A and B are shown apart, each in its own frame.
Chain A
Amino acid sequence: MTERLDQIFVVLKHWLLGYLPESWQTPVGVVISVVCIIGLYPALFAITTVLERKGVGRIQNRLGPNRVGPYGILQPMADGIKSLTKEDIVPTSADAVVHFLAPIILVVTVFMGFAVLPMGRNMVLVDMDAGLLFYFAMGASTELSVFMAGWSSRNKYSLLGAMRAVAQMISYEVALLLSSVVIVMMTGSLSLVKIVEAQNHYSYGLPHWFIFTPWGFAAFIMYAIAGTAETNRSPFDLPEGESELVAGYHTEYSGFKFALFFLGEYVAMFSISGLGSTLFLGGWMAPFAALQFIPSWIWFFGKLFVSMGVFIWVRGTLPRLRQDQLMNFAWKFVLPMCLLNLFVAALWRFMGDGWLRWVVCSAILILAYVSIGREGMRRKQFGPRSYRYAE
């Protein structure tokens, strides 16, 4: 029974495909999976938008939306209808083709990332050997669409937003990759399915997730920071800082194209959360051996929602960074920590089993964290400003 429930979607798909001739089964199977992914994540997006608005509202001691439907749960429908019926305005001086393509490319590349994410036992669209690489290749392409949007709008705010976005995304892409590389070093595989499998054993009923190691924990923190920045999420939402840049790179977008940007960003958050839970939190695995009877996909989506909750919580807490703070943080704190973490992971690998590696690795990381943090936090003494005037 447990096994059946765990594999229900896989079994269902095979049962559907059983009615088709042999040669059709593979392509139709892919189409079914793709349609499921494309249908599922926008639905989750709709739920999350209302949860976010209510959650942030509660954080600010407000009620949040509660007018459309019971407790406001039909709010996304109202939002969707609104954005669908709005006029789609393209500025006369905009590059219409690029302007049109940008949101589409964003959504497409964001959805491509899900192709390699295992969402449950045997529930992965393509078990690619270089899955992680593919994922990051797709993730990096979102930068392209963001810059396309900012550039083609021919609006200074759009362009400023896009420039910020590119600077930020490229900076944090490095940290994102380096924090994931430790996992690849430990598992020896780029396949996300294999990475989950590598965490799939329990001792004393507790799982061997990578987050429960010093290097894994450090990498997870760095990954979370870089992932937040990568999805342009508060406190790293400079590219669309509404108080400075109207709306950043999607200033000139309205109607459904804007909704596509919005969707793309949210789905990118799901995607980053999904990858994070795959790499560090054991993917679709149960957190305790005793809870393994619960279907794997419930665990995956549960972890997804928990990390979305953290995203919302962080958004409701932290104010936006300044551009120089953002860059300093990326290059002076996150990157050195990631590089050090690579070294620590190697140390862990070659120190063999035992308590010593725990102590040594933790000590190195904590020491580095404190010292780099203190260096970064030190108040800089700037003298009085001096000016040199042109002759």
Chain B
Amino acid sequence: MLGDGILKGLAETAKNFAGSFVSKERMTTVEYPEERLPLPEAARNFPFLVYDGDDWEKGLRCVACQICEKECPPKCIYIEKSKDKKPDYVGKPQIYPAKFDIDISVCMSCQICVEVCPFEAIKMNTEFELATDDRFGGLLLDRKQLARSNEYYHEIHPTEASEVDARLAEEKAKVEAKAKAAAEAAAAKAAAAPSANTPASAAVAKPQAPVEAKPATAGKAAEIAKAPAMATAASEPKPVPGTGTDGPAPLTAEDQKNAETPAKANAREPKAQGEPKE
């Protein structure tokens, strides 16, 4: 009959109207500033810098290698290397970014900086409430504003952060094992030639530095990995099989060399590290 569809429709809307007061499931509205939906784990918008430990300035993983700066398609990253070297987390002198600015008004959230970073130092943030009344200064974030703890990284991207931590721990363990082997070899050498006093003591003294550092790092949480450890580990797959047969002494020397110039070593082959990581 004419009009029964209208009555049916009116009944439906009346049901909706009454139901919206009774059942919470009907209401799809999330009243945003007060309540918010959890972001999906893959969410990202702008990069941040990861630091280990409590002090953001000391713990910053970034070694100012400037790969991200070069790779950034819209060129929104600006890095100035420090003139001096600052002891990093384990006391190893290291270049650090004296200036690390990201202009988030330029950034296009492509994540390329994250992909190329060999130090796991830059990651994507999920913060989106970045509105500011200062159009230029407010959107140009300096390294202090960019620094976020590793715990924060775990909070926003738990799976990815655990993977990164596992990888870093594995690499660190490799380096430590190698250092240990080198120390043992040196000790054996020293034992074999006890008459030659001066070179033996030098050989022993050298590998001792990483051995000494071991308890300090082991005491920290397993996720912590040092920049030098990473640098050596990153360039390892190639040199290790080649130099491993040569004998223990030259290997140690090469390790030391690599550890001293990690930025250079990595800058030479960023792709080699960046790609297998993905």
Q: Does B17 contact A58, Cβ atoms closer than 8 Å?
A: yes
Which residue of the partner chain, among A63, A314, A370, A377, contacts B29 with CB atoms under 8 Å? Answer: A63
Which residue of the partner chain, among A55, A63, A369, A374, contacts B17 with CB atoms under 8 Å? Answer: A55
Closest-CB distance, B271 to chain A (whole angstroms): 51
Q: Does B261 contact A (CB under 8 A)?
A: no
Q: Hey, what's the 0/1 contact readout for B65-89 against A, CB within 8 Å counting as 1? A: 0000000000000000000000000
Interface centre among B13, B16, B27 (most CB of A within 10 A): B13
Which residue of the partner chain, among B3, B19, B27, contacts A62 with CB atoms under 8 Å? Answer: B27
| Chain A contacts for B6, CB-based, 8 A | 317-318
Q: Hey, what's the 0/1 contact readout for A349-391 against B, CB within 8 Å counting as 1? A: 0000000000000000000011011101100000000000000
Q: Does A373 contact B2, Cβ atoms closer than 8 Å?
A: yes
| Chain A contacts for B20, CB-based, 8 A | 58-59, 61-62
| Chain B contacts for A61, CB-based, 8 A | 16, 19-20, 26-28
| Chain B contacts for A313, CB-based, 8 A | 10, 13-14, 17
Q: Does B216 contact A (CB under 8 A)?
A: no
| Chain A contacts for B31, CB-based, 8 A | 63, 66
| Chain B contacts for A63, CB-based, 8 A | 27, 29, 31
Which residue of the partner chain, among B1, B9, B14, B19, contacts A370 with CB atoms under 8 Å? Answer: B1
Q: Does A58 contact B16, Cβ atoms closer than 8 Å?
A: yes
Minimal Cβ-Cβ distance residue in A for B21: A58
Q: Does A60 contact B (CB under 8 A)?
A: yes
Which residue of the partner chain, among A58, A318, A369, A374, contacts B9 with CB atoms under 8 Å? Answer: A318
Closest-CB distance, B134 to chain A (whole angstroms): 26
Q: How many residues of B contact A (CB 8 A)?
A: 19
Q: Known contacts A318-B6, A373-B1, A374-B2; is A62 also within 8 Å of B29 by CB?
A: yes
Minimal Cβ-Cβ distance residue in A for B8: A317
Which residue of the partner chain, among B2, B13, B21, B27, contacts A316 with CB atoms under 8 Å? Answer: B13
Closest-CB distance, B258 to chain A (whole angstroms): 60
Which residue of the partner chain, among A59, A333, A370, contacts B16 with CB atoms under 8 Å? Answer: A59
| Chain B contacts for A55, CB-based, 8 A | 17
Q: Does B212 contact A (CB under 8 A)?
A: no
Q: Does B12 contact A (CB under 8 A)?
A: yes
| Chain A contacts for B1, CB-based, 8 A | 370, 373-374
Which residue of the partner chain, among B10, B21, B28, contacts A314 with CB atoms under 8 Å? Answer: B10
Interface centre among B6, B17, B26 (most CB of A within 10 A): B17
Q: Does B16 contact A60, Cβ atoms closer than 8 Å?
A: yes
State A60–B17 Cα separation when bound (angstroms).
Answer: 8
Q: Known contacts A58-B20, A61-B28; is A376 also within 8 Å of B2 by CB?
A: yes
State A66–B19 Cα separation when bound (angstroms).
Answer: 18
| Chain A contacts for B3, CB-based, 8 A | 373
Q: Does B2 contact A377, Cβ atoms closer than 8 Å?
A: yes
Q: Does B10 contact A317, Cβ atoms closer than 8 Å?
A: yes
Q: Does A317 contact B9, Cβ atoms closer than 8 Å?
A: yes
Q: Does A317 contact B2, Cβ atoms closer than 8 Å?
A: no
State A377–B1 Cα separation when bound (angstroms).
Answer: 8
Interface centre among A58, A314, A333, A372 (most CB of B within 10 A): A58
| Chain A contacts for B17, CB-based, 8 A | 55, 58-59, 313, 316
State A22–B193 Cα separation when bound (angstroms).
Answer: 134
| Chain A contacts for B21, CB-based, 8 A | 58
Closest-CB distance, B97 to chain A (whole angstroms): 43
| Chain A contacts for B27, CB-based, 8 A | 61-63
| Chain B contacts for A59, CB-based, 8 A | 13, 16-17, 20
Minimal Cβ-Cβ distance residue in A for B6: A318
24 A-B Cβ contacts within 8 A? A59-B13, A59-B16, A59-B17, A60-B16, A61-B16, A61-B26, A61-B27, A61-B28, A62-B20, A62-B27, A63-B29, A63-B31, A313-B17, A316-B13, A317-B6, A317-B9, A317-B13, A369-B2, A370-B1, A373-B1, A373-B3, A374-B1, A374-B2, A376-B2
**18 additional A-B residue pairs with CB within 8 Å, beyond A58-B21, A374-B2:** A59-B17, A59-B20, A61-B16, A61-B20, A62-B27, A313-B14, A313-B17, A314-B10, A316-B13, A316-B17, A317-B10, A317-B12, A318-B6, A318-B9, A373-B1, A373-B3, A374-B1, A376-B2
Residues of A bordering B, CB below 8 Å: 55, 58-63, 66, 313-314, 316-318, 333, 369-370, 372-374, 376-377
4 closest A-B pairs by CB: A373-B2, A317-B13, A58-B20, A59-B13
